[in-house]
Amino acid sequence: MAPELLQRRAMLRSSLFSPLLLVLLCCGGEAVRQLPDAAATTDGGGTVDGGGAADAGGAADGSVRPSIEGCFDGLAPRQAGRFVEVLGLRQTPAGARLILAREPGDRPGAVGETWAFDLVRFALEDAAGNTHCVTNPSALEYSFGHHNWDERARVVIEGRAYVVTLRYFLNGQAMWVDELSVLDAVSGAVLSGPVPLVKEACRSIPTNPNACFAR
């Protein structure tokens, strides 16, 4: 065989097994999304580096908006041997994004296979792209139900109470119904909602098989 043909065949064989092609072959050609860990997170509008500083995803005026995932940089359980569950939700068809971080606590009332969750952190990105990160315990409320199938989180931001309900139904078809309502934090008057939410992702810090159960 002519040297030129041998060289071309060798080049073709090398290109067939490039790293990109191997990834596509092993995954059936589908893109696999993995939620990044707390040290290096990303969102649709930009990235957050390992130090937690946003480096892209600016607003219309050229300013840089922080990623709501960056709110969870450095997050760790308050007690050794426990985990923090980080649950991301999105309003449909388009609207707010929010992330809740909840950790098993020691409050009474947890019976059987139920976690006495405490809300330890909350992040919100509204439809306009404004972001909020809430870490103050006095602004974070959480109530749990049996098997954690009837949960309610309440977070106060700038005079508004954002109420997230997470309910699991077994009526014919097992399904989660997650909703967001916005109330006046003082009067309790409903300003919007409830609107449906869909799950974007769920992970735990550190990885724990009991977290994100049935999510």
Specify the long-range contacts of residues 52-55, CB closer than 8 Å, at least 24 apart.
none
Q: Which of 63, 192, 72, 188 is nearest to 127 (CA)?
A: 192
Taking only the tens place, the pLDDT of each residue in 41-66 is: 333 333 232 233 333 344 444 445 56
Q: How many CB atoms lie within 10 A of CB 53?
A: 12
In the block, which residue shows the tokens 């077994």?
Answer: 170
As a whole number of angstroms, the distance between CA 126 and CA 41 comes to 19
What predicted TM-score, i.e. pTM, was given to this entire model?
A: 0.67
Ordered domains of the chain (ranges, CATH): 74-205 (2.40.128)
Provide the mean pLDDT of the chain.
73
Per-residue model confidence (pLDDT) at position 44: 35
pLDDT at res. 181: 96
Give the residues of the chain that fall short of pLDDT 50.
1-63
